[in-house]
Structure 1
């Protein structure tokens, strides 16, 4: 649970898995989160070994994130969780609206 502790970590992992690799694209996709918070969580995921960070040597410098093998091993957990959420959507959506 420590690995995914953070409101945006699961979203970051899923978006990177879905093909969004650049920080700016991630910030646009997850616009409800501050850029600083997303950068912090990207750094934490990289330090844990879930993501790898590639710096492309060009002008201007570009950064891309990718899932490591360890990060890819989390994908089945996300898929099971998504199926659970879909199966219980009718219970979860009304409760989520009151939060």
Structure 2
């Protein structure tokens, strides 16, 4: 048990015992999937259909190709994104959001609206 302090309505400090979490909470587990640099943006840019790697990198603006490649591999390993090879010479691939990845779009839409509402 951990002891934490919290203010009361009267401005006094009350101490109470809090049991530690034995596993990450749902917010933390969700943020592990779509949090982190560029993951949410990648999923958002794939919502309208398959996108070629170079086009996706351009759409993301400040993301380098290595960073985009790493995030796409992470999203692919979590079955949120599907990679499709179009040709070997020259190499051409597209990325497409999966149904599981698509399930994050509601959360990302709310986040987008919140950021716009607050001028972030």
Alignment partner, residue 95 of structure 2: 65
Q: TM-score scaled to structure 1, two decimals?
A: 0.80
Q: Which one scores higher on RCO, CA 8 angstroms, separation ≥ 6?
A: 1
Q: Which has the higher strand share?
A: 2
| SS of residue paired to 1:7 | coil
For structure 2, the residue ranges without an aligned partner over 5 or more in a row are: 1-30
Aligned equivalent of 1:31: 61
- Give 4+ residue runs of structure 1 displaced > 2 Å after superposition: 57-61
- Partner residue of 1:16? 46
Computed over aligned residues only, the root mean square deviation of the Cα atoms, in angstroms, reads 1.6
Query: Offset of 1:58 from its aligned partner?
Result: 5.6
Bigger drift between 5-14 and 63-72 goes to 5-14
Q: TM-score, normalised by structure 2?
A: 0.67
> Quick check: which has more Rg, 1 or 2?
2
Q: Where in structure 2 are the equivalents of 1:76-87 lying within 5 Å?
A: 76-87=106-117
Number of corresponding residues: 90
Structure 1 alignment gaps of length 5 or more: 93-99
